[in-house]
């Protein structure tokens, strides 16, 4: 409890300082580049680099603020945990790794924070030490190791440019058409690393699996740290990406957004629905980033960090009241018993849907209008707007099951906001920003206002799909008999959709099935078979038989052996004397 309070106030204090510094850097248009030479061998220099601008300080302030609220939340949520101190220090290491990633634009320094995020996230996901969390932790770690390997390869290719500070090459790659193949390879590897960390297809399966971690970890991982690291990295290098790379990112992000929206509408696990909504929003950020609007992607990244952290906190409070039950089918009528939690969760849900004048509206509506002004395929428009409708559908479905439906809990259950007042205070600290921060961003951080020219039909298209998603969500929860029969009649299609297009199977069983089978065959046939027969056991049996025979011969034929050895001895020396 003491450590929670110490780090809560420390992070909150530094968050306000970073926010003030970001305002100062933005108003004065400042940029500070600090470089400390560490090593210089054969023209290859390794430096410690700090890149400070308004984006750096603003992102740091949001990470620190969200982390402080989550630490305060953890002081009550994890109060019965015997190893609370270890949990808090793991969370601090996680935040420090994120700080290392934000402050650096040097590939070697980024690797330290990048690898730190992967290792500490593994330790946090397996925190409960059961079969489910161990499997999820291994999937998370191995998926992120692909990104780590991509960063290491990018560092090895960067040796040819005599510096690992890729910030120096961004403007050169932007205005030079004859970019070297090695620089293209570095950018491709950076995209691969960002895709693994931000769980884009086909690396999406680890994100819902990471729900095996404690709820405070989910709140931190899915709001402002692990999953946003890849998007932030791409925002920093976006000006160097070629048209083909942008097209590839657009296709992948749209498919990720569409897949996550469909899967969330079939899911019944409370935390997994919110995790799939994170995946959908990451696809939205990548989509607008691939259209060249990095500032807009950064704005939505920060706003998403607020309402997604609040969503997980509310989910944790509900799970806490239900005695660790996460199935939304057993919930209902909680708007009466948990009014503060209900208000906070519905506000964050409305912000996720883009309800006007909440924070999510200012970024999502602008993203939709900027995309509408692009010259894109009709299929791109359909997938994007349909995914926005799916977001509203699963949000309405979630709120209905948890808050607006009839009570399904046991008669002796006691639900009250007083049961988790410490958690509620952290939620109330975030809900104010969820309401007002979007408007503040649109007034302060957009240096030049977007000039949107659209016909009335395109202008109302977002509203139309939001209403369509609302109707779809209401229909899904009202027509229970028809919905369940439809689900059973199309069981394979339903399992395909809820299983994230079989991505977990492809990335787990599809990859390791044959490797595990070969390992089993090697162990049984070779290691315990032929190698055992001709190796350790065979040599031992041969030596044992040989020594027993020699012992028998020497122990039962003393005189014969003596004469035999004497003859051999004499023959040896006589042959030496004759041939000399």
Q: Are 518 and 456 members of one domain?
A: no
Report the pLDDT value the prediction gives residue 314, as an integer from 0 to 100.
87
Judgement on whether residues 8 and 53 belong to the same structural domain of the protein? yes
CA 19 – CA 16 distance, rounded (Å)? 5
Say what the pLDDT of residue 361 is: 85
235 and 249 share a domain?
Answer: no
pTM of the model: 0.83
What pLDDT, on a 0 to 100 scale, did the predictor assign at position 407? 75
Cβ contact 246:289 at 8 Å: no
* Preceding peptide of 202 cis, ω within 30°: yes
Check residue 137 and give its pLDDT.
83
Residue for token pair 């040896």: 572
Q: How far is CA 564 from CA 548, 560, 571, in A?
A: 19, 6, 11
412 shares its domain with 450: yes
**Does residue 385 lie in a domain region?**
yes
pLDDT at 110: 84
Locate 480 and state its tokens: 């229970």
Is residue 436 assigned to a domain?
A: yes
Cα–Cα nearest to 427, from 320, 337, 305, 343: 343
pLDDT at 410: 64
Is 539 inside any structural domain? yes
Claim to verify: residue 513 and residue 548 sit in the same structural domain:
no
Residue whose C-alpha is closest to residue 56's, from 38, 33, 90: 33
Verify that 168 and 248 share a domain, yes or no.
Answer: no
Same domain, 112 and 90: yes
Task: Report if residue 45 sits inside a domain.
Answer: yes
Task: Tell me the residue range of the domain where 387 lies.
Answer: 242-483
Tokens of 220: 């931190």
Q: Are residues 225 and 267 in the same domain?
A: no
Instruction: Among 455, 483, 511, identify where a domain stops.
Output: 483
Tell whether 333 and 207 lie within a shared domain: no
Instruction: Give the integer Cα–Cα distance in Å for 4 and 410.
Output: 34
Within-domain flag for 488 = no
pLDDT of residue 425: 83
**pLDDT the model gives residue 497:** 75
**Residue 489, in any domain of the structure:** no
3-state secondary structure of 47: strand
Q: Which residues of the chain have pLDDT under 70?
A: 1, 38-46, 162-163, 170-180, 409-414, 416-419, 447-448, 479-489, 508-512, 554-561, 580
Burial category of 343 from C-beta neighbours within 10 Å (exposed 0-12, middle 13-18, buried 19 and up): middle
Give the count of domains, the chain.
4
Q: For residue 163, is it within any domain?
A: yes
Hey, what are 527's tokens? 């290691």
- Kindly report the average pLDDT of the chain as a whole number: 81
Q: Left, alpha or beta for 501 (phi > 0: left; psi -120 to 50: alpha)?
A: left
Distances (CA, A) of 440 to 18, 59, 357: 17, 15, 11
Cβ-based neighbours of 177, under 8 Å, separated by 6 or more: none
Work out the angle at residue 197's Cα, subtended by the Cα atoms of residues 353 and 261, and round it to the nearest 5 degrees. 30
pLDDT of 482 reads: 57
Report pLDDT for 8. Answer: 81
Is the domain of 535 the same as that of 565? Answer: yes
Residues 418 and 548 in one domain: no
Q: Are residues 310 and 342 in the same domain?
A: yes
Asked if the structure places residue 416 within a domain, the reply is yes
- Which of 210, 241, 272 lies at the terminal end of a domain, its last residue? 241
Domain boundary among 197, 215, 241: 241
């Amino acid at each position: 409890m003491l450590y929670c309070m110490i780090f809560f106030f420390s992070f909150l204090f530094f968050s306000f300082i970073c926010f003030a510094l970001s305002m100062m850097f933005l108003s004065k248009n400042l940029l500070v580049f600090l470089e400390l030479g560490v090593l210089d061998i054969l023209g290859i220099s390794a430096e410690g680099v700090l890149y400070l601008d308004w984006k750096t300080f603003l992102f740091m302030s949001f990470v620190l603020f969200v982390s402080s609220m989550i630490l305060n939340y953890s002081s009550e949520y994890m109060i019965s945990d015997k190893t609370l101190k270890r949990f808090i220090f793991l969370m601090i290491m996680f935040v420090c790794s994120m700080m290392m990633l934000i402050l650096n634009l040097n590939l070697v320094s980024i690797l330290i924070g990048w690898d730190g995020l992967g290792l500490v996230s593994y330790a946090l996901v397996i925190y409960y030490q059961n079969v489910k969390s161990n499997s999820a932790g291994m999937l998370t770690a191995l998926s992120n190791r692909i990104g780590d390997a991509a960063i290491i390869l990018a560092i090895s290719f960067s040796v040819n440019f005599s510096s690992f500070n890729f910030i120096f090459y961004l403007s050169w790659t932007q205005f030079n058409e004859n970019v070297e193949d090695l620089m293209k390879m570095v950018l491709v590897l950076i995209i691969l690393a960002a895709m693994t960390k931000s769980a884009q297809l086909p690396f999406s399966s680890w994100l819902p699996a990471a729900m095996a971690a404690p709820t405070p970890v989910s709140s931190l991982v899915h709001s402002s740290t692990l999953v946003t690291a890849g998007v932030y990295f791409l925002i920093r290098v976006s000006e160097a990406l070629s048209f083909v790379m942008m097209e590839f990112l657009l296709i992948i992000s749209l498919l990720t957004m569409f897949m996550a929206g469909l899967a969330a509408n079939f899911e019944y696990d409370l935390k997994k629905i919110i995790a799939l909504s994170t995946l959908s929003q990451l696809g939205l950020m990548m989509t607008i980033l691939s259209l060249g609007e990095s500032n807009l992607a950064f704005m939505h990244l920060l706003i998403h960090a607020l309402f997604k952290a609040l969503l997980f906190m509310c989910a944790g409070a509900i799970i806490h009241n239900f005695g660790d039950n996460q199935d939304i089918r057993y919930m209902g009528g909680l708007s009466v018993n948990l009014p503060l939690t209900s208000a906070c969760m519905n506000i964050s849900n409305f912000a996720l849907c883009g309800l006007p004048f909440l924070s999510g509206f200012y970024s999502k509506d602008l993203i939709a209008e900027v995309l509408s002004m692009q010259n894109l395929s009709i299929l791109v428009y359909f997938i994007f707007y349909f995914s926005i409708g799916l977001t509203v559908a699963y949000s309405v479905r979630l709120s209905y099951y948890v808050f607006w439906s009839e009570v399904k809990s046991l008669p002796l259950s006691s639900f009250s906001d007083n049961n988790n007042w410490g958690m509620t205070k952290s939620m109330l600290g975030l809900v104010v920003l969820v309401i007002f921060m979007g408007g503040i961003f649109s007034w302060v951080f957009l240096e030049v206002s977007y000039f949107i020219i659209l016909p009335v039909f395109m202008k109302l298209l977002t509203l139309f799909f939001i209403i369509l998603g609302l109707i779809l969500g209401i229909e899904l929860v009202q027509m229970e008999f028809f919905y369940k029969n439809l689900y059973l009649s199309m069981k394979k299609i339903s399992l395909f959709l809820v299983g994230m297009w079989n991505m977990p199977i492809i990335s787990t069983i599809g990859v390791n099935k044959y490797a595990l089978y070969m390992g089993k065959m090697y162990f049984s046939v070779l290691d315990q078979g032929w190698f055992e027969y001709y190796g350790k056991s065979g040599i031992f049996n041969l030596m044992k038989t040989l020594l027993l025979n020699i012992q028998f011969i020497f122990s039962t034929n003393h005189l014969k052996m003596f004469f035999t050895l004497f003859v051999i001895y004499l023959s040896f020396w006589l042959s030496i004397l004759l041939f000399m």
